Structure 1
């Protein structure tokens, strides 16, 4: 026997985008069924991504800051780390948040089904859970997220990790290789370095965090190269495993021919989860990389089927998914809505953090957009100096033609918080004078963004003005 359910909207996937779409649709008066294969809502972000990584990063930062306090004449003993307590703390945070989602789901009278959902046709989904379920719907939202991409021909070995394995924190390897110098790789490097691992990072491109401008990530790079072994413009040729460890051979001008590691983390990106969900039954053919094409209303080629989040492509970020989830729900409810942001901010929660929004300088050059640039070094910021955070920079780009901000990048403590002033400025079409004449509290790190704007409008006094 199978359970039969009829609903206005079925949402496949209970991550940030999926549960947001479900909650918003319910708030707009629609009946909603939320299908998630895992026992807990929250998806990768809450369970094995954003939240656990930031929890562990907080612990790593505490360890680093305790060591750096010696420059102030404050010395702490070497920390004693109880991995079980550290893991349990992470688990408690996850349980608190997932429990909150359960409560919000019940309060909205959303039917929640655990199991793997597959579209049988354009109005029917079957769910293979503990009890088989057949759902008839009017509209559907695909929010199945993504999974870590792995390199081909890797040995089947517990010492070769993806990001979820790394966040499990089962052991602290003496020698850890991280393949991929992007955000995930660098965040994991910080955690394991603080806990005692010797870190080696391999990146194919010419600098770490490739999407960001090289000069923006430079303060971070200068710090990390003293702590880690970093090889850029380097590829991994082969990976083999034996009792002595994981043997890896490299191809790169400065990289060794071969080295042995106790564990290897593969952090080379993510791939959409679009296989095996019955897209063929919906007349939807994903692109070669698995991405589903959508319009500004998040509609697929089959108009009553919507897709949001990682399955519709980059940037694969939770905050993009949540906004797209709201748009999909609102369009389904008959509201005029569209996902047309001018920018989606990106943040690397390293120490120091790196954040950027809008066009990077290299993107502006590639698009042949003439721009004015203001770049303020944090070494000239009283707040940064007093907080031991002088290794930082704030950069803002303005269109030469109309004067409006087109992009910003920040490297420094709390860059992920500061960047949102630039995000709002981008959405509102602000120019350099709008930002520079907005009174910022002093001394703050946030005023470094205003100083960068002052460099462009010519009113800067905290450093020497540019020569005309």
Structure 2
């Protein structure tokens, strides 16, 4: 539906239709607000169209290819396994289309008006939305800014030609024979490993001591080990300096310990982070929105900016740039507008890397817990001690639970292994509800399942594990 000039007064203007914006719009509409949502691209934002969902579709396809290539381990003989990458891309696009269509239907079903175009503030209570055909002006009682972020472009490595952002990498029509990745964070690690499973020769250049900085070091070692099995070369403590491209390849110069080196590949993928979309024609400076020195919008515990009726959520505010964080903040902001006592609580925001093995984390690390004054203890139960993991031929990984030694209160959890992205939810709930190690250990987990590893890990921290030998005290 395209909004015309029939009504220029709305209750809530939502700028951005990503996982933060569309969730905020739906929740606001459910609470009785007349809502207009504006986005210049497709509903679903970067996550659904050019990020989380398409990347996971390709990662799943790469996993299927790898499994088929090694099916003989199960006694299944598969010959001449190959990839038709055009069909892989068709699968990815079909997933995206289905989900974006679903989001559009949800918005319309909740009577949220949709305008495909851009938005610019005129003053604190008015904004103009515009596209090639129209430019109506709206007065709003409240506004939620959810304009998301975009890949950081480095001056020495401008996007274009054979230098790609994650957006272009996900749209490649053919599998490259070789690929250089600058940045070994979760995006670079996920996409680099995905391409390597398809047979691409991948080199990752990372400035820190390890890839996936911020995750438990034992987790990142497992991922690095698996990457090397598919031929990924990981160069750490390295500084990328320049790139020269031809119509056939690109050469990157980098330095390690003062020594200059170079590597050539079909493409260069730059994944060094994301920049908030708070610049451009939105006009935040016109209404004097308070910002941080990193271009993020300052907000309170309900997402309010320095203007009490204007809120901001997602990648444009401080904190990790995660889709689920944006959705959570969107619901809080919509409820705050409706007068509900909702506030943000970041104690249980999970982080997930869809690498192989998957890595997930929630709550505190042992070091963070000790810094906060807890007498923390932890233990790791291996996937290799779990029947379901072995039957899936996925013995690599562990569940690590961090708890307060005096009370048994669960403070944090870190999981590396198959389905870690799903297993972390139980531990997030445990932290949110103030559960103890005994609460988890006394919960009967079905057998044989991966979930048993969570209970076994709790028992291990308590000191009485069944399926591993307890360390001597």
TM-score w.r.t. the length of structure 2 is 0.95
Kindly indicate whether the alpha-carbon contact (under 8 Å) linking 2:152 and 2:271 is maintained by their aligned counterparts in 1: yes
Q: Return the match for 2:399 from 387, 394, 406.
A: 394
Structure 1 range deviating more: 136-145 or 375-384: 375-384
Kindly indicate whether the alpha-carbon contact (under 8 Å) linking 2:203 and 2:233 is maintained by their aligned counterparts in 1: yes
Task: Give the secondary-structure state (helix, strand or coil) at the position aligned to 1:154.
Answer: coil
Structure 1 residues 255, 245: CA separation in 2 closer, same or farther (over 3 Å shift)?
A: farther
Task: Give the secondary-structure state (helix, strand or coil) at the position aligned to 1:310.
Answer: helix
Kindly indicate whether the alpha-carbon contact (under 8 Å) linking 1:379 and 1:391 is maintained by their aligned counterparts in 2: yes
| Cα distance in 2 between the residues matched to 1:190 and 1:78 | 22
Q: Return the match for 1:199 from 196, 199, 202.
A: 202
Structure 1 range deviating more: 448-457 or 276-285: 276-285
Kindly indicate whether the alpha-carbon contact (under 8 Å) linking 1:4 and 1:134 is maintained by their aligned counterparts in 2: no
Residues 179-218 of structure 1 mapped to structure 2, 5 A cutoff: 179-218=182-221
Q: Return the match for 1:269 from 255, 262, 273.
A: 273
Structure 1 residues 399, 255: CA separation in 2 closer, same or farther (over 3 Å shift)?
A: farther
Is residue 15 of structure 1 aligned with residue 15 of structure 2? no
After superposition, the C-alpha distances for 1:320-361 in whole angstroms (9 at most, x for unaligned) are 111111111111111111111421011111222111111123
Kindly indicate whether the alpha-carbon contact (under 8 Å) linking 2:400 and 2:414 is maintained by their aligned counterparts in 1: yes
Shift of 1:11: 0.3
Task: Give the secondary-structure state (helix, strand or coil) at the position aligned to 1:292.
Answer: coil
Structure 1 residues 369, 208: CA separation in 2 closer, same or farther (over 3 Å shift)?
A: farther
Is residue 150 of structure 1 aligned with residue 162 of structure 2? no
Partner in structure 1 of residue 239 of structure 2: 235
Kindly indicate whether the alpha-carbon contact (under 8 Å) linking 1:173 and 1:263 is maintained by their aligned counterparts in 2: yes
Task: Give the secondary-structure state (helix, strand or coil) at the position aligned to 1:357.
Answer: strand
| Cα distance in 2 between the residues matched to 1:442 and 1:2 | 60
For these two proteins, the number of residue pairs brought into alignment is 467
CA RMSD of superposed structures (Å): 1.8
Structure 1 residues 239, 282: CA separation in 2 closer, same or farther (over 3 Å shift)?
A: same
Kindly indicate whether the alpha-carbon contact (under 8 Å) linking 1:213 and 1:362 is maintained by their aligned counterparts in 2: no
Q: Return the match for 1:410 from 393, 408, 415.
A: 415
Structure 2 unaligned residues grouped into runs of 5+: none
Shift of 1:16: 0.8
Shift of 1:221: 2.0
| Cα distance in 2 between the residues matched to 1:199 and 1:234 | 16
Kindly indicate whether the alpha-carbon contact (under 8 Å) linking 1:346 and 1:357 is maintained by their aligned counterparts in 2: yes
Shift of 1:414: 0.4
Residues 42-57 of structure 1 mapped to structure 2, 5 A cutoff: 42-57=44-59
Is residue 347 of structure 1 aligned with residue 352 of structure 2? yes
Q: Return the match for 1:260 from 259, 264, 267.
A: 264
Q: Return the match for 1:60 from 45, 62, 83.
A: 62
Kindly indicate whether the alpha-carbon contact (under 8 Å) linking 1:3 and 1:132 is maintained by their aligned counterparts in 2: no
Shift of 1:257: 0.9
Task: Give the secondary-structure state (helix, strand or coil) at the position aligned to 1:294.
Answer: coil
| Cα distance in 2 between the residues matched to 1:418 and 1:142 | 32
Shift of 1:256: 6.8
Task: Give the secondary-structure state (helix, strand or coil) at the position aligned to 1:347.
Answer: strand
Structure 1 residues 96, 362: CA separation in 2 closer, same or farther (over 3 Å shift)?
A: same
Shift of 1:180: 1.1
Task: Give the secondary-structure state (helix, strand or coil) at the position aligned to 2:229.
Answer: coil
Shift of 1:226: 2.3
Task: Give the secondary-structure state (helix, strand or coil) at the position aligned to 1:99.
Answer: helix
Shift of 1:244: 5.2
Shift of 1:131: 0.6
Q: Return the match for 1:93 from 87, 92, 95.
A: 95
Q: Return the match for 2:390 from 385, 392, 395.
A: 385
Shift of 1:202: 1.3
Is residue 69 of structure 1 aligned with residue 71 of structure 2? yes
| Cα distance in 2 between the residues matched to 1:76 and 1:266 | 36
| Cα distance in 1 between the residues matched to 2:201 and 2:17 | 36
| Cα distance in 1 between the residues matched to 2:68 and 2:314 | 38
Shift of 1:242: 2.9
Q: Return the match for 1:104 from 89, 103, 106.
A: 106
| Cα distance in 2 between the residues matched to 1:201 and 1:221 | 11
Q: Return the match for 1:166 from 165, 169, 174.
A: 169
Shift of 1:65: 1.0
Structure 1 residues 94, 260: CA separation in 2 closer, same or farther (over 3 Å shift)?
A: same
Structure 1 range deviating more: 398-407 or 230-239: 398-407
Shift of 1:314: 2.3
Partner in structure 2 of residue 437 of structure 1: 442
Shift of 1:89: 1.7
Structure 1 residues 243, 96: CA separation in 2 closer, same or farther (over 3 Å shift)?
A: closer
Partner in structure 2 of residue 324 of structure 1: 329
